A and B are shown apart, each in its own frame.
Chain A
Amino acid sequence: EPEVTQTPSHQVTQMGQEVILRCVPISNHLYFYWYRQILGQKVEFLVSFYNNEISEKSEIFDDQFSVERPDGSNFTLKIRSTKLEDSAMYFCASRTLAGVRETQYFGPGTRLLVL
């Protein structure tokens, strides 16, 4: 069964460093998402991406964040200058384009720790 994959599973970085989180969505999916979950808090939407551009973004997704689909398979989230409060589990998700009712399939997450 096809699945969303994410690398790395864990990343530790120093405050102020740039990090890139990688995701490989399911191959025939066209809509991509990033969510995050700060420890002990809700899963929160960050951004959605379709047709090589951001479709929607939340207030959390400020200028420190960017997303990219550098090739036909990868979907990345970059945090330009990490802050302590960026420590969280980051989930990638994807879905087909068929309609808003389509299920979002999630990857296993990347746990980011900013020191």
Chain B
Amino acid sequence: AQSVTQPDIHITVSEGASLELRCNYSYGATPYLFWYVQSPGQGLQLLLKYFSGDTLVQGIKGFEAEFKRSQSSFNLRKPSVHWSDAAEYFCAVYNAGNMLTFGGGTRLMVKP
């Protein structure tokens, strides 16, 4: 069965520092991968997605992610974190059944 693992439950970074959130997937075919963000009281907002082609994808709010098939990873990065980036981040994969399978989420805290 397809699965997504986000190894880090919580991450704290200083404002202005770089960020990398890890995501590993288990999927036999070419995965369709997503990163969503959930701010307090908000729904799940799509940051970016990967279907095929260029393995480095750009998203909204200055985020990017790199698909690495050899490592079964799709890590999310941002060069300089802002306090407003504090939220929970979810990696997800489309499975064969046309539904999303989510990772457990990573809660990002930003120190001033």
User: Which residues of A does B touch, CB under 8 Å?
Assistant: 4, 6, 31, 33, 35, 41-45, 48, 55-56, 58, 91, 93, 100-101, 103-109
- Of B46, B94, B105, which one neighbours A105 at CB under 8 angstroms? B46
**Taking A42-B103, A42-B105, A100-B32 as contacts, is the C-beta distance between A55 and B46 under 8 angstroms?**
no
Main secondary structure of the interface of B (DSSP, over half): strand
**Taking A42-B103, A108-B43 as contacts, is the C-beta distance between A103 and B49 under 8 angstroms?**
yes
Whether B102 pairs with A107 at a CB distance below 8 angstroms is no
Q: 27 pairs across A/B with beta carbons < 8 Å? A: A4-B43, A33-B99, A35-B102, A41-B104, A42-B103, A43-B44, A43-B90, A43-B92, A43-B105, A44-B102, A45-B101, A48-B98, A56-B98, A56-B99, A58-B99, A91-B43, A91-B44, A100-B32, A100-B94, A100-B98, A101-B32, A101-B94, A103-B34, A103-B49, A105-B46, A106-B45, A107-B43
